[in-house]
Amino acid sequence: MPRHIAIIMDGNGRWAKARNLPRALGHRQGVLALKPIVKTCARIGVSVLTVYAFSTENWIRPKSEVDALMSLLMEFLRAETAELKMEGVSIRTIGNISKLPARALAALQESMQRTADEKRMILNLALNYGGRDELVRAVNRWARQGGDQALTEEILANYLDTAGLPDPDLLIRSSGEERISNFMLWQIAYAEIYVTKTMWPDFDPEELIKAIRAFQSRTRRFGAVE
Q: Enumerate the β-bridge partners of residue 4.
A: 48
Q: With DSSP H G I counted as helix, E B as strand and the rest as coil, what are the percentages for the chain, rounded to 5?
A: 50, 15, 35
Q: Has 58 been annotated as catalytic?
A: yes
List 10, 161, 167, 169, catalytic entry: 10
Round to whole Å and give the CA distance between 6 and 183.
9
Return the closest-CA partner of residue 174 out of 143, 196, 201, 152: 196
Q: Has 148 been annotated as catalytic?
A: no
Q: Quick one: DSSP state of residue 168?
A: P
What secondary structure does DSSP assign to 106-139, as a single string?
HHHHHHHHHHTT--SEEEEEEEEE-HHHHHHHHH
Q: Quick one: DSSP state of residue 220?
A: P
What secondary structure does DSSP assign to 14-50, as a single string?
HHHHHTT--HHHHHHHHHHHHHHHHHHHHHHT-SEEE
Round to whole Å and give the CA distance between 153 and 105.
31
| Positions marked active-site | 10, 58
